[in-house]
Structure 1
Protein backbone atom coordinates (compact mmCIF):
# COMPACT_ATOMS: atom_id res chain seq x y z
CA UNK A 1 0.00 0.00 0.00
CA UNK A 2 1.24 3.44 -0.91
CA UNK A 3 1.78 6.26 1.56
CA UNK A 4 0.05 8.65 -0.86
CA UNK A 5 -2.49 11.23 0.17
CA UNK A 6 -5.82 10.05 -1.20
CA UNK A 7 -8.54 12.34 -2.52
CA UNK A 8 -11.53 10.01 -1.98
CA UNK A 9 -12.62 6.64 -0.64
CA UNK A 10 -12.60 5.29 -4.19
CA UNK A 11 -9.08 6.66 -4.71
CA UNK A 12 -7.97 4.79 -1.57
CA UNK A 13 -9.68 1.53 -2.56
CA UNK A 14 -8.32 1.73 -6.11
CA UNK A 15 -4.77 2.06 -4.77
CA UNK A 16 -4.98 -1.40 -3.19
CA UNK A 17 -4.43 -4.73 -4.88
CA UNK A 18 -7.72 -6.06 -6.20
CA UNK A 19 -8.25 -8.59 -3.39
CA UNK A 20 -7.84 -6.05 -0.58
CA UNK A 21 -9.75 -3.35 -2.43
CA UNK A 22 -12.67 -5.67 -3.21
CA UNK A 23 -12.87 -6.96 0.35
CA UNK A 24 -12.91 -3.47 1.88
CA UNK A 25 -15.38 -2.28 -0.77
CA UNK A 26 -17.66 -5.21 0.16
CA UNK A 27 -17.39 -4.37 3.88
CA UNK A 28 -18.34 -0.75 3.20
CA UNK A 29 -21.18 -1.74 0.85
CA UNK A 30 -22.67 -4.19 3.36
CA UNK A 31 -22.66 -1.59 6.14
CA UNK A 32 -24.12 1.19 3.98
CA UNK A 33 -26.82 -1.12 2.59
CA UNK A 34 -27.92 -2.20 6.09
CA UNK A 35 -27.61 1.33 7.51
CA UNK A 36 -28.60 3.82 4.80
CA UNK A 37 -28.41 6.70 7.28
CA UNK A 38 -24.63 6.26 7.40
CA UNK A 39 -22.08 7.68 4.99
CA UNK A 40 -18.53 6.76 4.04
CA UNK A 41 -15.84 9.41 3.82
CA UNK A 42 -12.09 9.65 3.86
CA UNK A 43 -10.57 10.68 7.19
CA UNK A 44 -6.98 10.22 8.33
CA UNK A 45 -6.40 9.05 4.74
CA UNK A 46 -8.55 5.89 5.14
CA UNK A 47 -12.29 5.14 4.71
CA UNK A 48 -14.51 5.86 7.70
CA UNK A 49 -18.21 5.11 8.10
CA UNK A 50 -19.93 8.05 9.80
CA UNK A 51 -23.26 9.22 11.10
CA UNK A 52 -23.18 12.99 10.89
CA UNK A 53 -19.99 13.97 12.75
CA UNK A 54 -19.66 10.68 14.68
CA UNK A 55 -17.32 7.96 13.49
CA UNK A 56 -18.94 4.54 13.50
CA UNK A 57 -16.56 2.15 11.73
CA UNK A 58 -13.15 2.41 10.09
CA UNK A 59 -11.48 0.16 7.55
CA UNK A 60 -7.89 0.03 6.42
CA UNK A 61 -5.41 -2.14 4.55
CA UNK A 62 -2.09 -3.16 6.00
CA UNK A 63 0.71 -5.18 4.47
CA UNK A 64 -0.51 -8.66 5.46
CA UNK A 65 -4.14 -8.13 6.50
CA UNK A 66 -7.04 -5.70 6.70
CA UNK A 67 -8.21 -3.94 9.84
CA UNK A 68 -11.77 -3.17 10.94
CA UNK A 69 -12.40 -0.76 13.79
CA UNK A 70 -15.75 0.10 15.38
CA UNK A 71 -14.33 3.30 16.93
CA UNK A 72 -14.93 2.11 20.46
CA UNK A 73 -12.77 0.32 23.00
CA UNK A 74 -15.98 -0.69 24.80
CA UNK A 75 -17.48 -2.29 21.68
CA UNK A 76 -14.20 -4.08 21.06
CA UNK A 77 -14.16 -5.30 24.66
CA UNK A 78 -17.79 -6.46 24.42
CA UNK A 79 -17.04 -8.39 21.19
CA UNK A 80 -13.55 -9.62 22.13
CA UNK A 81 -14.52 -13.17 23.09
CA UNK A 82 -16.79 -13.60 20.06
CA UNK A 83 -14.11 -12.28 17.70
CA UNK A 84 -11.35 -14.42 19.23
CA UNK A 85 -13.60 -17.51 19.16
CA UNK A 86 -14.13 -16.88 15.44
CA UNK A 87 -10.35 -16.78 14.93
CA UNK A 88 -9.72 -13.05 14.54
CA UNK A 89 -6.68 -11.25 15.92
CA UNK A 90 -8.13 -8.68 18.31
CA UNK A 91 -6.40 -5.49 19.38
CA UNK A 92 -7.70 -2.79 21.74
CA UNK A 93 -9.41 -0.73 19.00
CA UNK A 94 -9.60 -3.04 15.98
CA UNK A 95 -9.56 -6.58 14.71
CA UNK A 96 -7.72 -8.06 11.78
CA UNK A 97 -9.28 -9.89 8.85
CA UNK A 98 -7.59 -11.66 5.95
CA UNK A 99 -7.38 -9.88 2.61
CA UNK A 100 -9.74 -12.42 1.06
CA UNK A 101 -12.27 -12.33 3.94
CA UNK A 102 -15.74 -13.64 3.16
CA UNK A 103 -17.78 -10.78 4.60
CA UNK A 104 -19.67 -11.75 7.75
CA UNK A 105 -22.74 -9.56 7.40
CA UNK A 106 -24.16 -10.49 10.81
CA UNK A 107 -20.92 -9.61 12.58
CA UNK A 108 -20.68 -6.25 10.81
CA UNK A 109 -24.34 -5.49 11.58
CA UNK A 110 -23.90 -6.40 15.26
CA UNK A 111 -20.77 -4.23 15.59
CA UNK A 112 -22.43 -1.23 13.94
CA UNK A 113 -25.58 -1.62 16.05
CA UNK A 114 -23.44 -1.72 19.21
CA UNK A 115 -21.53 1.40 18.19
CA UNK A 116 -24.71 3.29 17.26
CA UNK A 117 -26.30 2.31 20.60
CA UNK A 118 -23.29 3.74 22.37
CA UNK A 119 -23.85 7.09 20.65
CA UNK A 120 -27.57 7.38 21.36
Structure 2
Protein backbone atom coordinates (compact mmCIF):
# COMPACT_ATOMS: atom_id res chain seq x y z
CA UNK A 1 0.00 0.00 0.00
CA UNK A 2 1.63 3.19 -1.17
CA UNK A 3 -1.05 5.85 -1.67
CA UNK A 4 -3.79 7.40 0.41
CA UNK A 5 -6.31 6.03 -2.08
CA UNK A 6 -5.04 2.48 -1.59
CA UNK A 7 -5.31 2.94 2.17
CA UNK A 8 -8.89 4.20 1.98
CA UNK A 9 -9.87 1.38 -0.40
CA UNK A 10 -8.87 -1.25 2.16
CA UNK A 11 -10.76 0.14 5.18
CA UNK A 12 -14.37 -0.57 6.16
CA UNK A 13 -16.59 0.97 3.44
CA UNK A 14 -18.77 2.71 6.02
CA UNK A 15 -15.70 4.67 7.25
CA UNK A 16 -14.21 5.52 3.88
CA UNK A 17 -16.14 8.75 3.35
CA UNK A 18 -15.02 10.18 6.72
CA UNK A 19 -11.40 9.22 6.10
CA UNK A 20 -11.47 10.77 2.62
CA UNK A 21 -13.01 13.93 4.09
CA UNK A 22 -10.29 14.27 6.74
CA UNK A 23 -7.37 13.43 4.45
CA UNK A 24 -8.67 15.80 1.77
CA UNK A 25 -9.08 18.56 4.34
CA UNK A 26 -5.47 18.15 5.49
CA UNK A 27 -4.17 18.13 1.91
CA UNK A 28 -6.17 21.24 0.97
CA UNK A 29 -5.51 23.16 4.20
CA UNK A 30 -1.80 22.32 4.33
CA UNK A 31 -0.70 21.84 0.71
CA UNK A 32 2.97 22.09 1.75
CA UNK A 33 2.71 18.86 3.79
CA UNK A 34 3.63 15.63 2.06
CA UNK A 35 1.36 12.64 2.44
CA UNK A 36 2.63 9.10 2.70
CA UNK A 37 1.72 5.68 3.98
CA UNK A 38 4.00 4.30 6.69
CA UNK A 39 3.33 1.74 9.38
CA UNK A 40 0.14 0.95 7.41
CA UNK A 41 -1.39 4.36 8.05
CA UNK A 42 -1.64 7.70 6.30
CA UNK A 43 0.54 10.43 7.67
CA UNK A 44 1.73 13.89 6.76
CA UNK A 45 5.26 15.20 6.99
CA UNK A 46 7.05 18.52 6.71
CA UNK A 47 10.74 18.57 5.70
CA UNK A 48 10.78 14.79 6.28
CA UNK A 49 9.61 15.08 9.87
CA UNK A 50 6.35 13.60 11.14
CA UNK A 51 3.51 16.07 11.70
CA UNK A 52 0.32 14.00 12.06
CA UNK A 53 -1.02 10.55 11.26
CA UNK A 54 -4.39 8.82 11.10
CA UNK A 55 -5.67 5.30 11.56
CA UNK A 56 -8.98 3.54 11.91
CA UNK A 57 -10.62 1.09 14.25
CA UNK A 58 -14.15 -0.25 14.46
CA UNK A 59 -15.24 2.49 16.84
CA UNK A 60 -13.17 5.53 15.92
CA UNK A 61 -10.85 7.49 13.69
CA UNK A 62 -7.52 7.87 15.48
CA UNK A 63 -5.49 11.05 15.16
CA UNK A 64 -1.84 10.85 16.21
CA UNK A 65 -0.07 14.19 16.69
CA UNK A 66 2.63 12.59 18.91
CA UNK A 67 2.51 12.74 22.71
CA UNK A 68 3.76 16.34 22.84
CA UNK A 69 0.82 17.47 20.71
CA UNK A 70 -1.67 15.57 22.85
CA UNK A 71 -0.19 16.99 26.06
CA UNK A 72 -0.31 20.50 24.63
CA UNK A 73 -3.98 20.21 23.62
CA UNK A 74 -5.41 17.97 26.36
CA UNK A 75 -7.95 20.60 27.42
CA UNK A 76 -9.11 21.17 23.83
CA UNK A 77 -9.36 17.41 23.23
CA UNK A 78 -11.57 16.98 26.28
CA UNK A 79 -13.63 20.04 25.31
CA UNK A 80 -14.24 18.48 21.89
CA UNK A 81 -15.60 15.40 23.64
CA UNK A 82 -12.85 13.07 22.47
CA UNK A 83 -11.08 10.34 24.38
CA UNK A 84 -7.29 10.13 24.15
CA UNK A 85 -4.28 8.06 25.09
CA UNK A 86 -0.62 8.98 25.36
CA UNK A 87 -0.21 8.70 21.58
CA UNK A 88 -3.60 9.26 19.94
CA UNK A 89 -6.94 11.03 19.99
CA UNK A 90 -10.06 8.96 19.32
CA UNK A 91 -12.81 10.58 17.25
CA UNK A 92 -15.89 8.31 17.34
CA UNK A 93 -17.32 7.61 13.91
CA UNK A 94 -20.64 9.14 14.94
CA UNK A 95 -19.04 12.38 16.22
CA UNK A 96 -18.21 15.47 14.21
CA UNK A 97 -14.57 16.16 13.40
CA UNK A 98 -13.33 19.27 15.18
CA UNK A 99 -11.33 20.76 12.30
CA UNK A 100 -10.33 23.76 14.40
CA UNK A 101 -8.60 21.39 16.83
CA UNK A 102 -6.96 19.45 13.98
CA UNK A 103 -5.74 22.73 12.53
CA UNK A 104 -4.25 23.76 15.88
CA UNK A 105 -2.49 20.41 16.35
CA UNK A 106 -0.99 20.47 12.86
CA UNK A 107 0.16 24.09 13.11
CA UNK A 108 1.63 23.43 16.56
CA UNK A 109 3.63 20.45 15.29
CA UNK A 110 4.82 22.36 12.24
CA UNK A 111 6.03 25.23 14.43
CA UNK A 112 7.40 23.06 17.23
CA UNK A 113 9.27 20.80 14.79
CA UNK A 114 10.44 23.53 12.40
CA UNK A 115 14.07 22.89 13.33
CA UNK A 116 13.66 19.14 13.87
CA UNK A 117 15.99 17.05 11.75
CA UNK A 118 14.55 13.65 12.69
CA UNK A 119 11.30 11.95 11.76
CA UNK A 120 10.08 11.62 15.38
CA UNK A 121 10.78 13.97 18.27
CA UNK A 122 13.69 12.89 20.43
TM-score (norm 2): 0.84
Q: How many residues align?
A: 114
What 5-or-longer segments of structure 1 have no aligned partner? 1-5
Please say if 1:110 is aligned against 2:118. Answer: no
RMSD, aligned α-carbons: 1.4
Distance in 1, matches of 2:45 and 2:36, equals 7
Partner of 1:3: none
User: Larger relative contact order (C-alpha < 8 A, sep ≥ 6)?
Assistant: 1
What 5-or-longer segments of structure 2 have no aligned partner? 115-122
For the Cα contact (< 8 Å) 2:43–2:54, is it kept in 1? yes
Equivalent residues in 2 for 1:17-96 (5 A)?
17-70=12-65, 72-96=66-90
TM-score (norm 1): 0.86
Moved over 4 A (4+): none
SS of corresponding position for 1:32: helix
